Amino acid sequence: MGTHVVTGAASGMGAATARVLREAGHTVIGIDLRDADITADLGTDEGRAAAVSEVLERCAGRLDGVAAVAGVGPSMPDAGTVVSVNYFNPVRLLEGLLPALAASGAGRVVVIGSNSSTTVPMIDDQLVGHLLAGDEETAREHARAAQDAAPASVRATSPTISAYATTKFALARWARRTAVTPEWARRGVLLNVVAPGAVVTPLMLAGGRPEDLDADAFPTPMPLGVFGDPEDIAFWVHQFLRPEARFTTGAVLCVDGGTDAAMRPDAQPTAMTV
């Protein structure tokens, strides 16, 4: 059995993942703003550094896996916060924990993306560039300016939908680029992305009630006619974290009830052009 870190462990998909790992016999170090083994604000450099330091102390410098689940949704009022929490939180945390993951000889990492990165037509290419360049302050400023320039109707319903989809898009691209570098791949540390769709969590409900949700009236197709539960995501996170998952890295798995396939049936596979 191993030692795993789960961010966002106090609720939703993070809590479900922590529970599944503990039931499988693993030691889990949960991180969240409250009600967790480590309380830290992963939206700040100070919080990330403190979390990394405490994790390394608790695991004695050897870590078997990380599930980077913590994030905020498109109802968050500030796009700068979305940038810091959804992108720089997992990237900076994982950079700090990489030596401990490599020390295990078979480290496993899963980051939570979103099918919004492929189904929301509001990806901000400039913001993607700032994110992948690692420029947090410029990315925050750009995201806030773009939010202010968005149509009033968008700001009223999903004020940070573009920043949300874009940070998840950039995170998946970062993971695919990073997973195949020698610093990760040749040290046995595998990095994959689980991209959920509509999952009933506090983030999705945002003050509503589960019984008010109607899959057939949802803005995007729901081929199965049901929404996901946090446990549906936790199952696949656990599979990627297993030692047996030794030949999978750089993958992005949509766990969305078929939404991405319904909206973009011919997007994958896409033939490589010369």
Tell me, yes or no, if 87 is annotated catalytic. Answer: no
Give the DSSP H or E segment for 83: helix 79-83
Contact 231, 21 (CB under 8 A): no
Pairing outcome for strands 65-68 and 38-39: unpaired
For 86-96, b/e burial (b = at least 16 CB within 10 A) is bbbbbbbbbeb
Contact criterion met (CB below 8 Å) for 126 and 169: no
**CB-based contacts of 116, cutoff 8 Å, min separation 6:** 74, 161, 164, 165, 168
What's the CA gap between 76 and 121, in Å, rounded? 19
* Candidate list 164, 169, 174, 227, residue with the active-site label: 164
**Residues with catalytic roles:** 164
